[in-house]
Amino acid sequence: MTDLKTGELHSDVAVVGAGPAGIAAALALAHLGAKVALVGPAPAKIADARPETRTAALLTSSVDFLKRLDVWDSLVPHAASLKVVRIVDASRSLLRSPDITFRASELGLEAFGYNIANTVLVETLYERAREVLPSVLPTTVNEITLNQSEAQLELGDGTHIFTRLVAGADGRKSVCRTAAGIGIDTHLYDQGAIATSFRHTLPHEGTSTELHRELGSVTSVPTPDAFTSSLIWVASMAEIEELIACNDSDFAAQLQSRLGDVLGNVSDVGARANFPVGGLSAKQLAHNRTALVGEAAHIMPPIGAQGLNLGLRDAAALADCVAAALGRGHDPGCQAVLNAYVRARKLDILSRTVGVDLLNRSLLTNLPPVQAARGLVLAGLNALPPLRRMVMRVGLAPPAALPSLMRPMAEQANLAQAPHLGA
Ligand SMILES: Cc1cc2nc3c(=O)[nH]c(=O)nc-3n(C[C@H](O)[C@H](O)[C@H](O)COP(=O)(O)OP(=O)(O)OC[C@H]3O[C@@H](n4cnc5c(N)ncnc54)[C@H](O)[C@@H]3O)c2cc1C
């Protein structure tokens, strides 16, 4: 792919951004036969800038995707199964909703998914990318020039990449999005989120507990150690600033007062980092030889574990669209391929962003009718197991067909063996 004389690099797709969504996209594209260059600072460099304390609860389709990309086996020792999700209304409202418990076993599943530290996930994906991709360039993209037949990327190390499609997985301040002339809609909620971890004296038993309260939520998520959970604390900006400033024992005391006896005594709080809570939606998912992937396209509040799962579905769907085009000898960056990508992703993205936004707003409001409606929905879910199962299925899978690399291996094998009925 590299012309040694000129130092120029030529690819079908240049993936910009070595975050989890970008690396997964590069691996998926290469797995399906595209010539890919992955550009972005290496994970260690990013971790220097701000401690990455987040974990990601990955749903079953994301796990199936990681299996197909041959990274899952390395992740297993670091993954905690998520068997039960408990939602508790800890507000002071007179119209408190009933507690609700979702069990993976009700769907015949061992787990809804697995919780993994972002650092481990990204480093493992990056290692795999360095093993299998011909071009992994640990630098930034400084400039992008788009024209009718190709895109040209100028990198921080002076390299030039000529490519037919740019996969913009470069996060919230995406240069790819700007270069393609794609605008954004944003929404700030005056909330922040702290991601950290803590030890507790009662075992978590694979249960994630979400305590919803006025202006935010406190969510514990199991880690591979039965007595350690990761924590996402969403609250008003002012409260988050106070919680970040306080010392470890004061933070543990505050957490204890929120969690009560849910996990026994709380101790050994890990490093804390805070993240802005907001919504961002790109006005177009793809335009001008550029397809957006992950947080470059959509950001949502960290409730319901949807963000990266959605980004991984973008990655897998883009790989399908590009592979189909290359298989027919078509240009992978042409408008028809970009349109196919938008069609494949728009309903899933819209339903998740709107759903998470509504849930977050329902937690922010003091309006009795909204609180009563939430209570009624949760009471209905408690009383009606089929409805509860339906909600769990919707939470796990997108409203459209899963991309090919996210279908369970068994389903893939059946498809391969099935007689070819098409013309
Ligand atoms: C507290 C919290 C908890 C969360 N928990 C979950 C969860 O349980 N489950 C879930 O599914 N999601 C969760 N999320 C969301 C999830 O963390 C994000 O969706 C995910 O990390 C975004 O990945 P990304 O690859 O899209 O973007 P990023 O991780 O932001 O990656 C973008 C990459 O682009 C690179 N980049 C930027 N500019 C350039 C440039 N010019 N050139 C080259 N590279 C560039 C950056 O260095 C970076 O590596 C959570 C989020 C928060 C805040």
Return the domain boundaries, the chain: 2-79+116-186+280-366+403-417
Q: Say how many Å lie between the CA of residue 19 and the centre of ligand 1.
A: 6
Give Cα 306 to chain centroid, integer Å: 6
**Whole-number pLDDT of residue 16:** 98
Q: How confident is the model at residue 328 (pLDDT cuts 50, 70, 90)?
A: very high
Which residue owns the Cα nearest ligand 1 atom 42? 140
Given this model, what pLDDT does residue 306 score? Answer: 82
Is the Cα dihedral 315, 317, 319, 325 positive or negative? Answer: negative
Task: For the beta carbon of residue 54, count every other beta carbon within 10 angstroms.
Answer: 19
Decide: pTM greater than 0.85: yes
Question: Cα angle at 38 between 26 and 344, to 5 degrees?
Answer: 35
Q: Which residue has the higher pLDDT, 356 or 227?
A: 227
Predicted confidence band of residue 25 (pLDDT cuts 50, 70, 90): very high
The mean pLDDT of 285-293, rounded to a whole number, is 98
Pocket test for ligand 1, best of 27, 178, 217, 308 (most atoms within 8 A of CB): 308
Cβ-based neighbours of 380, under 8 Å, separated by 6 or more? 387
pLDDT at 415 over 60: no
- Strand ranges of the sheet holding 55-59, from the earlier edge strand across to the other edge: 55-59, 113-117, 80-82
Instruction: Please indicate whether residue 135 or residue 95 has the higher confidence score (pLDDT).
Output: 135
pLDDT at 387 over 90: no
What is the fold, at CATH topology level, of the domain defined by 2-79+116-186+280-366+403-417?
FAD/NAD(P)-binding domain (3.50.50)
Residue 46 pLDDT:
53
What's the first-to-final CA gap in the chain, in angstroms? 36
Is it the case that residue 179 has pLDDT exceeding 80?
A: yes
* Residue 106: predicted pLDDT: 85
The confidence band for 391, taking pLDDT boundaries of 50, 70 and 90, is low
Residue 94 has pLDDT above 80, yes or no: no
* Pocket-forming residues, ligand 1, beta carbon under 6 Å: 16-22, 39-41, 46, 54, 56-57, 140-141, 169-171, 175, 193, 195, 232, 275, 294-295, 302, 305-309, 311
Q: CA angle at residue 57 from 53 to 59, to 5 degrees? A: 155
Count CB-CB contacts under 10 A for residue 374.
Answer: 21
> Which residue among 58, 159, 170 has the greatest number of ligand 1 atoms within 8 angstroms of its CB, and so is best to mutate?
170
Q: What is the rounded distance in angstroms from the CA atom of residue 208 to the CA atom of residue 225?
A: 14
Structural contact between residues 221 and 82, judged by C-beta atoms closer than 8 angstroms? yes
The band of 83, judged by pLDDT with boundaries at 50, 70 and 90, is: very high
The pLDDT, as a whole number, for residue 411 is 62
Q: What is the pLDDT of residue 84?
A: 94
Determine which of 93-102, 301-310, 401-410 has the lowest per-residue pLDDT on average.
93-102
